[in-house]
Each structure stands twice: as structure tokens, then as C-alpha cells.
Amino acid sequence: MSDSSVLKPDDGRQLSREWLVARIVVIGGCIIALLAIVWFGWAQPELQRRDALARLREHNREMAVAATQLCKSGLGAAQNFGIVPTYAQLSGSKVYITSVQGRYICVAATHAARYLVAVDLLCRDVNAGRCISLFSVVQGNGAVLYRRQS
């Protein structure tokens, strides 16, 4: 009859190995948990923030290009109608939004005068001439040079 409750001399070493393995598992688990907290709490949000900033910069660049194209088309239409001199150029890169949806105002200037060119964006493709319609041209002093009949 063998009594399993009695320790054999071999059991002490076996028990110490089991405790060593248990400590390694617990410490390793804590280290993995700490690494997961650092990754999901700090590193990953930082990467997401950088990605969002890069997308925002790209979006802003695309919008600036579209605004410049919109203003160039509006100024070109005003010059083709003979309202604004052919040597007039865009003044700055700002596009002003009006209270009318799809209507934008660009500033053009010559050495002697300043013009506010209002254009209507009829569709999303600013490169297509049919999408941009000249609405009005107002001199810097408030004199209306052109206004499209609605």
C-alpha cells in the first residue's frame, strides 16, 4: 500500500520546479499585460493620431488646389466677358464662403483696382468649365460691374 500523502525525497525538487514555472507564468503574464496596456493605451492612439493628421493635411492641400482652380476659372470668365482687365491676377489664396450654398467669392486685383469675383459651383468638378458660373463682379469700392440675372 502506497500512501500518496507522504513526501518522497524527489517531491521537493518537483515542487520547487512547479513553483518556478508558476512564477514564470505569472511574471510573464504581467509583462505581457503591461505591454498590451502600453501598446493599446499609448502607441496605437499615437499612430492613429499621426495618420489622422496626415489625412487632414492631404485634405487641406486638395481643398486649397480646388479653391485656387475655382478662383482661376471665375477670374478667367470675368476676363473673357471683358469685365476685368486681362492682366488682373488673384490676390491671395483665400476663398470666401457666402450665405448662398455653392457660391464663393475670390479676390482679384490689378495695380489700380481690386475686384470681388463671385462664382457659383454647380457641380463638384472644379476642373470642368460647365461646373463654374460667374455670378457677379464687384469693385473694391462697392460698384457692381456685373451681376448675372437669376
pLDDT at 6 over 60: no
* Cell triple for 83: 469685365
**Residue 128, phi then psi, degrees to nearest 5:** -85, 130
Q: Which amino acid is at 71?
A: C
Q: Could you tell me which of 107, 110, 132 has the C-alpha nearest to residue 121? A: 132
Alpha-carbon torsion, ordered 134, 85, 105, 121, to 10 deg: 30
C-alpha cell at 27: 511574471
* Residue closest to 75 by CA, chosen among 44, 43, 110, 41: 110
Q: How far apart are CA 129 and CA 7, in angstroms?
A: 94
Distance of alpha carbon 141 from alpha carbon 113, whole angstroms? 9
pLDDT range class, residue 7, cuts 50, 70, 90: low
Amino acid letter, 98: T
Q: Which of 108, 93, 111, 112 is nearest to 146 (CA)?
A: 108
Give 98-129 pLDDT, tens digit per residue. 999 889 999 999 999 999 999 998 887 777 76
Q: Minimal CA–CA distance to 76: which of 122, 124, 127, 139?
A: 127
Confidence of residue 2 (pLDDT cuts 50, 70, 90): low
In the chain, where the domains are located:
68-147
Interval 26-75: pLDDT, tens? 999 999 999 888 888 877 888 888 999 999 999 988 888 888 888 898 99
Architecture of domain 68-147: Roll (3.10)
Q: Give the residues across from 39 on adjacent strands.
A: none
